[in-house]
Amino acid sequence: MNHPADSSAASPGGTGVGRYSPRFVLAAILIAIAAAGAMVLFLELQSLGEALLWPDSPPVPFFPLILATVGGLAVGLCLHVFGDHVLLLQQSLIEFQRTGRFEPRYLPAGLLAIYLSLIFGASLGPEVAAIDMGGSMGTLAGDRLRSRVRTLSSAGIVGALAGFAIYLQITRTAGGALYPLAPLGELLPPYLVYAAILGLAGAAAGVLFIGAFRFFYRLMTPLAGRHLIRGVAGGVGLGIAGTVFPLVLFSGQNEFKTVLETGATAGAAVLLLLVAVKIVASTWCMATIFKGGPIFPLIFAGGTLGLAVNLLVPAIPPAVAVPAVMAGMIVCVLKMPAAVIPIVALVFLQWEILIIIAIATVVGYYTTKKIEMFPHEGNGGGAVTEP
């Protein structure tokens, strides 16, 4: 929940507390710990909210359509009353790079909008909550200490992301991986070629993701500021997609486990259709009213596409196809290869495939480097411009 006009409210250099003073270091550590705890609490409340709203068996016909529409209205009402100050993930990071701060006063209403989006089944992830929560907590501390707002905001973000990782450990399998794949075994030279090709395929899917978002965003431009109408549109679209393919609801964090378990039975054609619907559902949510991040939806879509590749070309093992396509797709959208490589590696925990992930990430990044979801001027020096 950045705000460009707030960049002058406190100097990132600040006065009073030195960068390396014990007081400053202690403040940064405490902020990181508090942000980690707050993120774990947010995710647990999200899980409880989802369990409360979504029974195992739909009680009435077209239940996803009804609930998603109600959710769209709830988010729209929240934005109508409190204002829309929640940026999408890439926008938020660009603004933080430019201003060095977040705006804490927008955090409560922003977290409410994100929370409502997620518990009502939006095809988005909670990473925006982590960035905004940790960054705002750090900015608030920096303003109070009158020192190093950017550094303390960064500490808060790191802490919140650590809390996210801690919470994910609760859902991990007995083997430790969030998404277990059959071990790769020997790393054969052809696998490196496959990694480059599949990284390019994942990047192509990422281009479709960007294109779908920009199309839907332009489609919704005439309704700018009309939160309730956008809420109905967003909820109905999400509800239709979720009625046809229930797996596209929610972030995809848990749903991708189902794909890994049942994808071979479903077949490649169904998996490819599932990828397309997930891309449409996620970008529709982002362009209309719902708030959340793209990382887990990209993990779901990229991983599902990789599994379809394995079914179509069995010579390519799942431990090559799934992470390679996933890495190429994520890096195309996020444009952060240094972050994508560890993210993909950590969800599989097969260190022998790290070179596969790295090759796919590099290929995906450099082949789509100039295709951005949110074009902006310079290298962090200009304001975010809409698509």
Statement to judge: residues 157 and 244 lie in one domain: no
Q: Do residues 152 and 278 make contact, with C-beta atoms less than 8 angstroms apart?
A: no
Judge whether residue 13 has pLDDT over 50. no
Q: If pLDDT is split at 50, 70 and 90, which confidence band does 2 have? A: low
> How many residues can be counted in the chain?
387
Q: What is the Cβ-side half-sphere exposure of residue 55, based on CA atoms within 13 angstroms?
A: 5
Statement to judge: residues 254 and 361 lie in one domain: yes
- Predicted local confidence at residue 48, as pLDDT: 94
| Structural Rg of the chain based on CA atoms | 21
Rounded Cα distance between 247 and 177, Å, is 21
> Do the domain assignments include residue 155?
yes
Residue type for 240, please? I
- pLDDT tens-digit profile of 184-204? 888 888 999 999 999 999 999
Statement to judge: residues 161 and 269 lie in one domain: no
Specify the DSSP class assigned to residue 120. Answer: T
- pLDDT tens-digit profile of 32-65? 999 999 999 999 999 999 999 999 888 888 999 9
Q: If pLDDT is split at 50, 70 and 90, which confidence band does 368 have? A: very high
When the pLDDT of each residue in the chain is averaged and rounded to a whole number, the result is: 87
Statement to judge: residues 197 and 163 lie in one domain: no
**CB-count exposure of residue 3 (10 Å: 0-12, 13-18, 19+):** middle
Statement to judge: residues 150 and 248 lie in one domain: no
Rounded Cα distance between 119 and 48, Å, is 9
Q: Do residues 333 and 210 make contact, with C-beta atoms less than 8 angstroms apart?
A: yes
Share of the chain above pLDDT 90, in %: 64
Judge whether residue 385 has pLDDT over 50. no
Helix (H, G, I), strand (E, B) or coil at 384: strand
- pLDDT tens-digit profile of 207-253? 999 999 999 999 999 998 899 999 999 999 999 999 999 999 999 98
Judge whether residue 3 has pLDDT over 70. no
Q: Is 80 left (phi over 0), alpha (psi -120 to 50) or beta?
A: alpha
Residues near 341 by beta carbon (within 8 Å), at least 6 away in sequence: 327, 354, 357, 358, 361
User: How far apart are the two ends of the chain, measured CA to CA in Å?
Assistant: 19
Statement to judge: residues 138 and 29 lie in one domain: yes
Q: Last residue of some domain: 143, 170, 197?
A: 170
Backbone φ and ψ for 60, nearest 5 degrees, come out as -140, 160
- Predicted local confidence at residue 218, as pLDDT: 93
Statement to judge: residues 18 and 132 lie in one domain: yes
- The model's pTM is 0.88
Sign of the dihedral through C-alpha 331, 337, 343, 347 = positive
Statement to judge: residues 132 and 223 lie in one domain: no
Statement to judge: residues 197 and 344 lie in one domain: yes
Q: Do residues 64 and 58 make contact, with C-beta atoms less than 8 angstroms apart?
A: yes
Tokens in use for 212? 């779908």
**CB-count exposure of residue 372 (10 Å: 0-12, 13-18, 19+):** middle
- pLDDT tens-digit profile of 61-101? 899 999 999 999 999 999 999 999 888 888 888 888 888 88
Statement to judge: residues 166 and 251 lie in one domain: no
Q: Last residue of some domain: 115, 135, 170?
A: 170
Share of the chain above pLDDT 70, in %: 90
- Predicted local confidence at residue 172, as pLDDT: 64
Statement to judge: residues 230 and 340 lie in one domain: yes
Provide the residue range defining the domain that includes 252: 189-367
Q: Do residues 155 and 135 make contact, with C-beta atoms less than 8 angstroms apart?
A: no
Helix (H, G, I), strand (E, B) or coil at 376: strand
- pLDDT tens-digit profile of 260-279? 999 889 999 999 999 999 99
Statement to judge: residues 58 and 157 lie in one domain: yes
> Do the domain assignments include residue 381?
no
> Do the domain assignments include residue 373?
no
Rounded to an integer, the average pLDDT of 304-315 is: 95
Domain count across the chain: 2
- pLDDT tens-digit profile of 352-366? 899 999 999 999 999
Helix (H, G, I), strand (E, B) or coil at 125: strand
Of 120, 121, 117, nearest to 129 by C-alpha is: 117
CATH of the domain at 305: 1.10.3080.10
